[in-house]
Amino acid sequence: MLRASAVAEQAGVPTASLCCEGFVGQARSTSEGLGYPNLQVARVPGHVDVQSLEELRKNVLAVTVNDVVRCLTEQVEAARPSRDPGPREIVFEGSFEEVNRLFLENRWSDGLPIVPPTPEKIAEFLAFTDRSADDVLGKLLPDNREATVWNIAANGVMAGCRPEYMPVLIAAVAAMVDPLYGVEHSGNTPGSETQIVVNGPIARDLGFNYEQGALRDGFQANTSIGRFWRLYLRNVAGFLPHHNDKGTFGGTWRVVLAENEEVLRRIGWNNVAADMGIPAGANAVTISRFTGANVVASVFGDTPEKCLPYLADALVTHTTWEVIFTVGMSTGMYRPMLVLSPVIAETIARAGWSKADVQRWLYDNARMPAQRFEQYMSGWTNLVPGRRSLLEMSRLGKAPRAFGASADPQRLVPIVGKPEDFMIAVSGDALRSNCYVLVHNGILGFPVSKTIALPAHWQDKLAQAS
């Protein structure tokens, strides 16, 4: 709404953006990032989802209508421009404790101690890229700041990264600025978090953990790069809790997932990056936002037919309102991830199954009743207005044919648009039969992969750093 209002205001048309009470602060912050800090907002008291029609009408007549009139008729006070420190400006000098106090007070920290980003430490990071410190990767909403090699290095220092992680950090931010990912949705109310996946020889070069304890903190590369992501969203994109990060519950940053490339080579499967179109064997980063995750404990069976039903059930069980990204809010944009432990991947591959075979089996078997699908869309929620059935949507061409095979409300329908929408990774304890599912946030954090560009003389630089 505010983006549309900004376009209208640019054309000289006054606007009034209707905004529920809980989002007024976010609206102000978004307006600043759009370059129109005084965009006028008409408040809708409370939350419309839990109001009766009578309550809603009363609130709109008492508050919203008057706000709309005010927005369209009153002169707006001139905005006071705010100023960020310059990229090389020294904002403070002091002890470690004093620096951390300053960063906390200015909301430049996630609440944990940060490593002070001194020019000397930033220079160490810049030595691990052939790009200029002033190179701009793009602009990030909501604050519309430029993502630069310099501020990537500064936040990498703060997060506790090592200088040699710089190529991975640059690739991650290149993915963040990609419009397909949709960084502007990072403050949406479900509180989804981004999972970074690292592929290629660099995982071994930099000491990423991809064995026992994968996705747990305690390994510097996995942990600090995960923390970097959230710090960068805060300090450069501008997502601040109680401000414009409106995650109702939220979550912390996710530890980076590195795949076990050795196992993948042994069983002949592509890694996640190759599935996304990155050349096989290349170093790459893949990002995607997920609404939640859970372990699938003690998968049992010595054949694919024995192992996969449990995994399919887990994917269906943990997928609820997210089906709106399969059919409803968007079509074919739901991409859940299944992380297989190596022993389960090897058990499946031993029977001659490819990753594509697994995806096809899951598409055919990880299904839910059409009636339940429709309840998630517009029965228990108001996420998809109109309350059309899947059968109607299929006949109108707004859903794939598989969703309109019959009128039986108990018929089983897929949870994704096509087999390859299931993302499959291999990582974790090599001799444990546990797996992991991550439920995807659809268009509000769509998967994006970028290659990792290594600087000249990479191996020599690594040797000197160790």
Give yes or no: residues 200 and 334 share one domain.
yes
Return d(Cα 394, Cα 136) in angstroms, integer: 44
Low-confidence ranges of the chain (pLDDT < 70): 1-3, 6, 8-9, 11, 19-39, 48-50, 56, 59-60, 63, 65, 67-68, 71, 76-82
Residues 6+ apart with CB under 8 A from 262: none
- Asked whether the beta carbons of 287 and 185 are under 8 A apart, the reply is no
Return d(Cα 301, Cα 433) in angstroms, integer: 10
**pLDDT value at residue 304:** 98
Give yes or no: residues 193 and 59 share one domain.
no
Is 462 a member of any domain? Answer: no
Question: Shortest CA distance to 368 belongs to which of 326, 427, 305, 308?
Answer: 326
Is 113 a member of any domain? Answer: no
Pick the last residue of a domain from 73, 99, 123: 73
Give yes or no: residues 249 and 393 share one domain.
yes
Inter-axis angle of helices 149-159 and 220-232, to 10 degrees? 120
- Asked whether the beta carbons of 290 and 302 are under 8 A apart, the reply is no
Return d(Cα 303, Cα 310) in angstroms, integer: 12
The answer, yes or no, to whether the previous bond of 142 is cis (omega within 30 of 0) is: yes
Give yes or no: residues 204 and 336 share one domain.
yes
Is 131 a member of any domain? Answer: no
Residue 445 in tokens: 């954090």
Other C-beta atoms within 10 Å of 84: how many? 9
- What type of residue sits at position 295? V
Give yes or no: residues 285 and 428 share one domain.
yes
Pick the last residue of a domain from 57, 73, 89: 73
- What type of residue sits at position 52? S
Q: Which domain holds residue 442?
A: 185-451
Return d(Cα 145, Cα 43) in angstroms, integer: 28
Is 153 a member of any domain? Answer: no
Residues 6+ apart with CB under 8 A from 266: 346
Residues 6+ apart with CB under 8 A from 182: 443, 444, 445, 446
Is 106 a member of any domain? Answer: no
Other C-beta atoms within 10 Å of 149: how many? 21
**pLDDT value at residue 73:** 74
Is 418 a member of any domain? Answer: yes
Give yes or no: residues 263 and 385 share one domain.
yes
**pLDDT value at residue 83:** 74
Per residue in 406-418, pLDDT (tens digit) is 999 999 999 999 9
How many domains does one find in the chain? 2
Per residue in 144-182, pLDDT (tens digit) is 999 999 999 999 999 999 999 999 999 999 999 999 999
CA dihedral over 33, 122, 107, 94, signed as positive or negative: negative
Pick the last residue of a domain from 73, 100, 126: 73
**pLDDT value at residue 26:** 59
Tokens 């997060």, located at residue:
159
Is 109 a member of any domain? Answer: no
**pLDDT value at residue 466:** 76
- Asked whether the beta carbons of 325 and 445 are under 8 A apart, the reply is no
Return d(Cα 140, Cα 138) in angstroms, integer: 7
Q: What is the H or E stretch that residue 290 is in?
A: strand 284-296
- Asked whether the beta carbons of 264 and 271 are under 8 A apart, the reply is yes
Q: Supply the pTM of this predicted model.
A: 0.91
Q: What is the DSSP code string of 57-101?
A: HHHIIIIIHHHHHHHHHSPPPPP----PPPTT-------HHHHHH
Is 333 a member of any domain? Answer: yes
Other C-beta atoms within 10 Å of 111: how many? 9
Please state the φ and ψ torsions of residue 88, each to the nearest 5 degrees.
Answer: -115, 15
**pLDDT value at residue 70:** 76
